[in-house]
Structure 1
């Protein structure tokens, strides 16, 4: 949607929504003529738009009133080839469990690390091939939200946006849930040298989790042994684990950004002659079923990928004006304790 106004000649739909006291999706529905919006809310939104001298792009509005009953989803891959991990399979299954019964289709697009996903949104919007999009991987200074507002394409983010009011979103409450519980568990086992091998610096969620990690340790008077910002890849986790173990004051416990990273960490520790959890404890993050089938079984933060997919799809359909007709809960991530964590080594306790 094209706007005119105060900042650099542009007023955003988020500013209109904030002034009217509604979500950006509600503003879209008022001007697209979709959804169930009360007359009082419509009047409030239109008054906010007039006050800020904002108006939607006519072409974008026309596009949004012609439904394709298709939802877009972009997944990124850190490797040279597209890949769907177990976590994404659960997530996609959750999305489909909401879309399919309501006769909506899912248009899946893979973007490699070096590709720009904005072209996907522009092309498919121009071709009128989707009604809305589910966004993943919330990043700092995310440019996708402004683009989607310009295109008039409704969106729901899975995760917490860097700034509030830019996009409709679903996330755990609080977003860093699970990390404090993981730290408390390790501290109770006597660990004091705890390392966190988290996700990339530009992503919002790893930053929130790193803050939760540091704050929880600080409450116990403990300094983090190491906090590393890594790609979400087993190879990166293995290399970082190997380097930390070679240091004189090696960590006695490791928390990883994903289960796959944690499994790579366990394999690396074992290859260096260490026993898990006797010599080092390991905690993953995601709660994948594969964690039950490794040796030792993986302690992990359960994130409920299927629920996240359902919640995201339900939220987007509501933004589009659909009646969901059922409760779609999103549980708080929880620590699932298995065999990969144990007491700190006696000499370190």
Structure 2
């Protein structure tokens, strides 16, 4: 008999087997999604286990070949991650699904000196059997990780659309330009004739998508593109990039940024140059972080459902792992939220 710390008797696998009228082996196969039983029997066992409030112990699950853990590796300096609320929203969406299904998230944050060092981290996860699957985020144009996770036999879902077709599932907006075309049209319609763009790392898939969309939108509108500045997506580099753009012989009358924290830092640089927002320079951010609406002037930004992206990615991966999951709501394309900084 097993008792909790409060002295109450805990439900065991033997209890579930007795209630379901089957063997303990059948219960184990049902909860670990293993073959050898009918789907009807599996669902009956799972329902009884749910009603009884029973879950297999972590040790029993591990022995059965499942860890009920999902890996998420972010190759980013911890200080940059701490200043970027985007990933906090993404992880919150992921966790909201994993927790509901009894899964854990193994989050690994840090910079890797080389692709080989990063690959070693994935190999360690696979060879140590610490995770059942992984989420692959912040992809690059030629991302070696797509082939690596398949080589390692790690079930994987890509967070946001890859640059080129891959033999892996992905979740994200169908049109990955990040709302840049809508933002450019809005600015041009309000008389902005010199557009600039402060982007993140140029190798990132999302940066290439957004850059291509922005350049095409500027050409379609017949206005001028007066500069693209590449950064590490930090506020510090956003400030420096803005200052450099404003020092040009023909400074921009509108600047778009790859994230809100760079846009807010850019506003500081514009004010430091003695210019007014939006009278002299209009500003558009990206991601619609909660702080953006409280800034003065309130930040015009491209809104995307980052929490919902995490939900869809986690749901897709659990479905691949054989869990019974409900299809989440459709993922909407990013939309422009017009506030004071763009007129």
Task: Give yes or no for TM over 0.5.
Answer: yes
Matches within 5 A, 1:52-131: 66-78=65-77, 83=82, 85-112=84-111, 114=113, 116-131=117-132
Aligned to 2:320: 319
Which secondary structure state, in structure 1, belongs to the residue aligned with residue 340 of structure 2? coil
5+ residue gaps, structure 2, are: 1-31, 36-61
Aligned to 1:203: 204
Contact 1:317-1:324 within 8 A present in 2 as well: yes
| Equivalent-residue separation in structure 1 for 2:331 and 2:112 (angstroms) | 29
- Note if 1:285 corresponds to 2:292: no
Q: Which moved more, 1:112-121 or 1:177-186?
A: 112-121
| Equivalent-residue separation in structure 2 for 1:171 and 1:290 (angstroms) | 24
- Note if 1:146 corresponds to 2:137: no
Which secondary structure state, in structure 1, belongs to the residue aligned with residue 229 of structure 2? strand
Larger radius of gyration: 2
- Note if 1:155 corresponds to 2:156: yes
Root-mean-square deviation (CA, aligned residues, Å) is 2.2
| Equivalent-residue separation in structure 1 for 2:244 and 2:236 (angstroms) | 12
- Offset at 1:83? 2.7
| Equivalent-residue separation in structure 1 for 2:258 and 2:326 (angstroms) | 35
| Equivalent-residue separation in structure 2 for 1:140 and 1:203 (angstroms) | 6
Contact 2:260-2:285 within 8 A present in 1 as well: yes
Aligned to 2:9: none
Q: Tell me the alpha carbon deviations over residues 67-112 of structure 1, each in whole angstroms, 9 at most, x when there is no partner.
A: 1110011123246676362111111110011111100110110022
| Equivalent-residue separation in structure 2 for 1:220 and 1:163 (angstroms) | 27
- For this pair of structures, how many residues does the alignment match? 284
| Equivalent-residue separation in structure 2 for 1:113 and 1:251 (angstroms) | 36
| Equivalent-residue separation in structure 2 for 1:303 and 1:204 (angstroms) | 17
| Equivalent-residue separation in structure 2 for 1:112 and 1:277 (angstroms) | 37
| Equivalent-residue separation in structure 1 for 2:66 and 2:329 (angstroms) | 24
Q: Tell me the alpha carbon deviations over residues 6-26 of structure 1, each in whole angstroms, 9 at most, x when there is no partner.
A: xxxxxxxxxxxxxxxxxxxxx
- Offset at 1:228? 2.1
Structure 1 residue runs of 4 or more that deviate by more than 6 Å after TM superposition: 33-36
Matches within 5 A, 1:1-349: 66-78=65-77, 83=82, 85-112=84-111, 114=113, 116-342=117-343
Contact 2:77-2:109 within 8 A present in 1 as well: no
| Equivalent-residue separation in structure 1 for 2:293 and 2:79 (angstroms) | 29
TM (norm. structure 1) is: 0.77
Contact 1:262-1:284 within 8 A present in 2 as well: yes
Contact 1:35-1:319 within 8 A present in 2 as well: no
Contact 2:194-2:225 within 8 A present in 1 as well: yes
Contact 2:67-2:130 within 8 A present in 1 as well: yes
- Offset at 1:222? 2.1
5+ residue gaps, structure 1, are: 1-32, 37-62, 343-349
Distance 1:79 1:313, change over 3 A: closer
Greater relative CO (CA pairs within 8 A, separation 6+):
1
| Equivalent-residue separation in structure 2 for 1:79 and 1:110 (angstroms) | 7
TM (norm. structure 2) is: 0.78
- Offset at 1:146? 1.2
- Offset at 1:328? 3.5
| Equivalent-residue separation in structure 2 for 1:82 and 1:165 (angstroms) | 27
Distance 1:328 1:316, change over 3 A: farther
- Offset at 1:163? 2.5
Which secondary structure state, in structure 1, belongs to the residue aligned with residue 225 of structure 2? coil
| Equivalent-residue separation in structure 1 for 2:214 and 2:162 (angstroms) | 20
